[in-house]
Structure 1
Amino acid sequence: MSKKELADQQEQLARFAKALGHPIRIAILEMLATRSCCYHGDMSEILPIAKSTLSQHLNELKDAGLIQGTITLPTVKYCIHQENWNKAKGLFADFFTQLQKTEDIC
């Protein structure tokens, strides 16, 4: 693996980790994981936050590539971006495996 590929993976992992770094975003992902999709309005009725705050969290998850949205005015429905979710799982698995190896050495 080249230094550039390693740096790219680290950057992507950090982006995913940042997106997962808020309890509401975790709640959003848990909600989406149990459904094929969910509408913004439905989420705003379930989650204890303002619609504008929900939109900010959805944008953070979308910018990280963990979810995707489909706009059908006047609604927006969201779902987990499966390809990127699988990539995130792989990067986190590799990261934690590498840390475990280091832990075994020390």
Structure 2
Amino acid sequence: MISLNYRDSRPIYEQIKDGLKKLMVSGALAADEKLPSVRVLATQLSINPNTIQRAYNELESEGYIYSIPGKGSFAAGDVGADESRKRELKEKVRELIAELRYLGVSEEELLALLKGEETT
């Protein structure tokens, strides 16, 4: 499900958050699907439950998951409602495109990337 890299410079909670986002975006975690409890995931990954809780809190504040008291946390079905997150991601894409252009990536290669096509 989620793998941690202890040599990664990013904090563990960010790796967990990013791993869960990837699962949701790829469809591996469907809308309204229940996420593992904080304790279960902490046990599976052999880390402190507070680390999982921090990742879950941030995912909830970004609109990727929602919590129901006494029931657990669930993957959100409509993440599109968070306009500030969209703006933030669009800005990151602009920065990446600028860097790729600087490195000589052609417009055709960039378009292929946007379409999800393999480029060399």
Pairing 1:35–2:34 present: no
Q: Which moved more, 1:83-92 or 1:23-32?
A: 83-92
Q: Which 4+ runs in 1 deviate beyond 4 A?
A: none
Shift of 1:103: 4.3
- Give the conservation status (yes or no) of the 8 Å contact 1:38–1:78: yes
Consecutive unaligned residues in structure 1, runs of 5 or more: 1-17
Greater RCO (Cα-Cα under 8 Å, separation 6 or more): 1
SS at match of 1:35: coil
Consecutive unaligned residues in structure 2, runs of 5 or more: 1-9, 105-120
Identity %: 11
Deviation track 1:2-46 (CA, whole Å, cap 9, x = no partner) reads xxxxxxxxxxxxxxxx9xx83222222234341123334176254
Alpha-carbon distance between aligned partners in 1 of 2:23 and 2:46, rounded to the nearest angstrom = 13
* Structure number, greater radius of gyration: 2
Count of residue pairs brought into register by the alignment: 84
Q: Could you say which residue in structure 1 is the equivalent of 2:64?
A: 67
**Match runs of 1:75-94 below 5 Å:** 75-80=71-76, 82-83=79-80, 84=82, 87=86, 89-94=89-94
**TM-score, normalising length from structure 1?**
0.52
